[in-house]
Amino acid sequence: MVKLFKQETTTVGVEADVTSSRGCPAAAQAPDVSGALISGVPVSAPLVLSIDAMGGDRGPAAVLDGIALARRKYPDLHFLVHGPEADVAPLVKARRLKSCVTIRHATGVVTMHDKPAAVMRGGKDTSMWSTIDAVRDGAAQVAVSCGNTGALMAVSMLRLRKMPGVNRPAIAAFWPCKNPSGFNIMLDMGADVKAEARDLLTYALMGSSYARNALGLDRPRVGLLNVGTEEHKGHAELKIAAEMIGAMETAGGYEFVGFVEGNDLPGSRVDVIVTDGFTGNVALKTGEGTAKFAGELMREAFTSSLLSKLGALLASGALKRLKAKIDPRRVNGGVFLGLNGTVIKSHGGADATGVAAAIDLAARLAGLGFAERLAARVALASANGQDAASAEAGIENAK
Amino acid sequence: MVKLFKQETTTVGVEADVTSSRGCPAAAQAPDVSGALISGVPVSAPLVLSIDAMGGDRGPAAVLDGIALARRKYPDLHFLVHGPEADVAPLVKARRLKSCVTIRHATGVVTMHDKPAAVMRGGKDTSMWSTIDAVRDGAAQVAVSCGNTGALMAVSMLRLRKMPGVNRPAIAAFWPCKNPSGFNIMLDMGADVKAEARDLLTYALMGSSYARNALGLDRPRVGLLNVGTEEHKGHAELKIAAEMIGAMETAGGYEFVGFVEGNDLPGSRVDVIVTDGFTGNVALKTGEGTAKFAGELMREAFTSSLLSKLGALLASGALKRLKAKIDPRRVNGGVFLGLNGTVIKSHGGADATGVAAAIDLAARLAGLGFAERLAARVALASANGQDAASAEAGIENAK
């Protein structure tokens, strides 16, 4: 088993490291929609994405609008679109997408209220299930869905299965911060409410692999979320996790900065923030809620008097640029890490711009062969730490 | 034991309910500094506060400045100020505070880097220890310190001991939100990284008692923080806690709204948010960090061009009002709940305005006899739920 892992590493792993840090510098612009990224990436086969047309709050029209928008940037992409043919076909026709879209008929729709267990039992006929199966069968490289997160994770786990060496898969998302790229990556955002020390180590490995590929970072800085940066604070489990993550620095290809706190999330200390899915989800929603609240207070202030309205008018250019910069639709897409295949969860309320951003992320990850790179990195680290470190040293020297 | 609890309730409990909801409506303005609140409250003895002059980032001068500021609003308050006499006496003299300040000499100072366990063992000579002991000995009603949170909680636990019926004390803090008062209360903010279901129930009882007294709410709405509002989501422990908190609604004098999420924190759905100290601390720091980041981006936008600078100038009045409204110094003060005595933890970096806000909160809680009210409420609920409910029904009818 260990030998197999190491064999995989020497083929895929080297390529991954070299390409992400050198061959594809444009990846540093990851959260921007950019068609230029596809050129020069290792996978030369035609890229096919599997898109769930149903389950989003705005229905299939918004999803097809997103495809139309993304297509302008990626004219060579092909889309497998899953949903009831009667609903989807007219939308495809109206947007003249026939040449790049193949409809996969599926009658069932997973709603936001469906329980994950129920979908796992009786969801075979749904567009969500069909979307994941296209990746499972190799018909598409990456799946995208705006549907129910819990159900999407459950179906993905069931159909794609966990990657060897992964106990708990995780959801990773971009977090706006003061880093040069404008973002860091946080995981787990809520795939599992629990995480043991070894799961947190896996998150560190997967998160840094994602940061290398999606943010174009050579050696991402990893931090473990805690209630203080001192060693004597926090759960016992976190202290064990910190030791494990620290010991795997070389094999994992990251720098471990130790414990970080909630106020480091929007800062510039780290590229990858590791935490359990309960804490990650609360932090995500607290951050989103606070940002929204701050925006509302600001809007209130600027409409409170004639003078402030005039001020807002004069500053409107700067405010528009700021709004575009922090537009959450630009970084739409939580990625499921740790499965045999890449699945992107778009925000349920995503409009065309949001869906296009999720598709852009999917196209880039598909183009980079991210699923294989991630598997190679996890396998490398899952092997005996000592052996892995030596193997990694060999890779670095070969560069 | 049960009988004793019920006896306490019929004397202190009734008073608490009637006064907080009727006799003292001004308490609804809680987070504002206001001297008017002291009049009409049940405690008629002279109010004495115990203030730790040391341990804050800005040293004893900022603390004495805060006392001077608070004194203008509360001319009848008396302060026991703890610290090295040689440092404190000149500061008292320079501010002409001799008539309202008694210095309690203490040579030792707890720094931000001292470990709680070390302070518990060898901190007897510190100003922090002396500050807490004044409440323990009945010389003062409420203690205030800007020092090391972990050490302050440890010393408070050791010297004041836990209130009967409380397993884990908690830190409660105001959270800016869309409620009419502008705030809700969240706990635990980090007293303990763990909380079992029964601890979360205690937090609900203590948090709602605090909301009744500090925010002047008759029947606070309590929510339990989770990663989804659906019943099937979250830890098993949280489901048990939700049942326990729901069952204690009547005896606790609150309305249980069920699970809430991170984005409800700045909303208007709840008055009290219950969570464990790990999650609460991460949420607090994430919210603070996000708000600060949003402010920085805004400042950047307004200084990016000549036109936007002019716009900011025109809107400066509105922006100043907004800044004052969300000024974190105005709501400075985390309260330790569940001890035999009230302790307020001021922010370590508090300036005179921040210290004055913490003193204002201390004065109001002392004036309301909050420690006794809280103990009565916890005792009432700690008694058999059924009995307690009947007792409560009697109280309501007697109103």
Lowest-confidence pick of A368-377, B11-20, B204-213:
B11-20
| pLDDT exceeds cutoff 50 at B31 | no
Lowest-confidence pick of A37-51, A150-164, A372-386, B368-382:
A37-51
pLDDT digits (tens, 9 = 90+) for B375-398: 988 888 777 454 444 443 344 333
Judge contact between B151 and B123, C-beta under 8 A: yes
| pLDDT exceeds cutoff 80 at A187 | yes
- On the question of a cis peptide bond just before residue A188, with omega within 30 degrees of 0, the verdict is yes
| pLDDT exceeds cutoff 90 at B226 | yes
Judge contact between B126 and B106, C-beta under 8 A: yes
Q: Which residues between 106 and 165 in chain B have a beta carbon less than 8 angstroms from any beta carbon of chain A?
A: 115, 150
The reply to whether residue B176 touches residue A287, judged by beta carbons under 8 angstroms, is no
Task: Work out the pLDDT band at A3, boundaries 50, 70, 90.
Answer: very low
Residue from A224, A285, A300, A313 whose CB has the most chain B CBs within 10 Å, to mutate: A285
Over the Cα atoms of chain B, what is R_g?
Answer: 21
Strands A272-274 and A221-225: parallel
Alpha carbon distance B143, B128 (integer Å): 9
Confidence at residue A328, expressed as pLDDT on a 0 to 100 scale: 66
Lowest-confidence pick of A16-20, B222-226, B331-335:
A16-20
Domains in chain A, CATH or no CATH each: 44-161+339-368 (3.40.718.10), 164-330+369-398 (3.40.718.10)
A275 or A5: whose pLDDT is higher? A275
Alpha carbon distance B359, B53 (integer Å): 12
Cα distances (Å, whole numbers) of residue A211 to A136, A375, B129, B140, B281 = 24, 14, 47, 55, 26
Alpha carbon distance A339, A322 (integer Å): 36
Q: Does A262 touch chain B (CB under 8 A)?
A: yes
Task: Work out the pLDDT band at A232, boundaries 50, 70, 90.
Answer: low
Lowest-confidence pick of A312-326, B57-71, B242-256, B339-353:
A312-326
Cα distances (Å, whole numbers) of residue B201 to B252, B384, B393 = 10, 14, 20
Confidence at residue B46, expressed as pLDDT on a 0 to 100 scale: 84
Nearest CA in chain B to A115: B232
Judge contact between A238 and A246, C-beta under 8 A: no
Distant-in-sequence, close-in-space partners of A352: CB < 8 Å, separation ≥ 6: A62, A65, A66, A68, A69
Lowest-confidence pick of A49-63, B2-16, B291-305, B314-328:
B2-16
Confidence at residue B385, expressed as pLDDT on a 0 to 100 scale: 56
Q: Does A20 touch chain B (CB under 8 A)?
A: no
Confidence at residue B299, expressed as pLDDT on a 0 to 100 scale: 84
pLDDT digits (tens, 9 = 90+) for B59-86: 999 999 999 999 999 999 999 999 999 9
Lowest-confidence pick of A47-51, A385-389, B112-116:
A385-389
Confidence at residue A97, expressed as pLDDT on a 0 to 100 scale: 95
Q: Does B93 touch chain A (CB under 8 A)?
A: no
| pLDDT exceeds cutoff 90 at A80 | yes
Task: Work out the pLDDT band at A45, boundaries 50, 70, 90.
Answer: low
Confidence at residue B231, expressed as pLDDT on a 0 to 100 scale: 66
Alpha carbon distance A275, A284 (integer Å): 11
Place of tokens 């600078």: B309
B363's tokens: 């004065």
B242's tokens: 């939700």
| pLDDT exceeds cutoff 50 at A41 | no
| pLDDT exceeds cutoff 70 at A16 | no
Q: Among A267, A300, A314, whose Cβ lies nearest the Cβ of B311? A: A314
Confidence at residue A36, expressed as pLDDT on a 0 to 100 scale: 30
B308 or A116: whose pLDDT is higher? A116
Q: Does B348 touch chain A (CB under 8 A)?
A: no
For the beta sheet containing B78-83, the strands, ordered from the edge strand earlier in sequence to the opposite edge, are B101-105, B78-83, B48-52, B142-145, B342-345, B334-337, B170-176, B183-187, B272-274, B221-225, B255-260
DSSP conformation letters of B126-163 = BHHHHHHHHHHTTS-SEEEE-S-HHHHHHHHHHHH-BP
Question: What value does the mean pLDDT take over residues B117-133?
Answer: 95
Whole-number percent of chain B with pLDDT over 90:
60
Confidence at residue B198, expressed as pLDDT on a 0 to 100 scale: 94
Q: Does B387 touch chain A (CB under 8 A)?
A: no
Question: What value does the mean pLDDT take over residues A182-189?
Answer: 93
Q: What average pLDDT is seen over chain A?
A: 83
The reply to whether residue A289 touches residue B265, judged by beta carbons under 8 angstroms, is yes
Lowest-confidence pick of A214-223, B194-203, B224-233:
B224-233
Task: Work out the pLDDT band at B322, boundaries 50, 70, 90.
Answer: confident
* Residues of chain B found within 8 Å of residue A227, distances taken between Cβ atoms: 190, 193, 277-278, 281-282
Confidence at residue B320, expressed as pLDDT on a 0 to 100 scale: 83
Confidence at residue A385, expressed as pLDDT on a 0 to 100 scale: 55
A238's tokens: 């976190």
| pLDDT exceeds cutoff 90 at B14 | no
SS3 A209: helix
Confidence at residue A382, expressed as pLDDT on a 0 to 100 scale: 74
Lowest-confidence pick of A12-26, A87-101, B149-163:
A12-26
Task: Work out the pLDDT band at B229, boundaries 50, 70, 90.
Answer: low
ipTM: 0.81
Confidence at residue B11, expressed as pLDDT on a 0 to 100 scale: 30
Alpha carbon distance B65, B50 (integer Å): 15
Q: What average pLDDT is seen over chain B?
A: 83
A18 or B136: whose pLDDT is higher? B136
Task: Work out the pLDDT band at A291, boundaries 50, 70, 90.
Answer: confident
pLDDT digits (tens, 9 = 90+) for A118-158: 999 999 999 999 999 999 999 999 999 999 999 999 999 99
Confidence at residue B7, expressed as pLDDT on a 0 to 100 scale: 29
Lowest-confidence pick of A17-21, A73-77, B162-166, B324-328:
A17-21
Closest CA to B212 of B246, B255, B171: B255
| Residue B315 exposure: Cα atoms within 13 Å on the Cβ side | 28
Q: Among A266, A283, A313, whose Cβ lies nearest the Cβ of B283? A: A283
A397 or B311: whose pLDDT is higher? B311
| Distance between B14 CA and the closest CA of chain A, angstroms | 37
Q: Does B312 touch chain A (CB under 8 A)?
A: yes
Confidence at residue B62, expressed as pLDDT on a 0 to 100 scale: 96
Lowest-confidence pick of A27-41, B171-185, B213-227, B346-360:
A27-41
Alpha carbon distance B263, A307 (integer Å): 32
| pLDDT exceeds cutoff 50 at B112 | yes
Q: Among B286, B297, B312, whose Cβ lies nearest the Cβ of A311? A: B312
3-state DSSP percent of chain B in helix, strand and coil, to 5: 55, 15, 30
* Residues of chain A found within 8 Å of residue B229, distances taken between Cβ atoms: none
The reply to whether residue B308 touches residue A314, judged by beta carbons under 8 angstroms, is yes
| pLDDT exceeds cutoff 90 at B324 | no
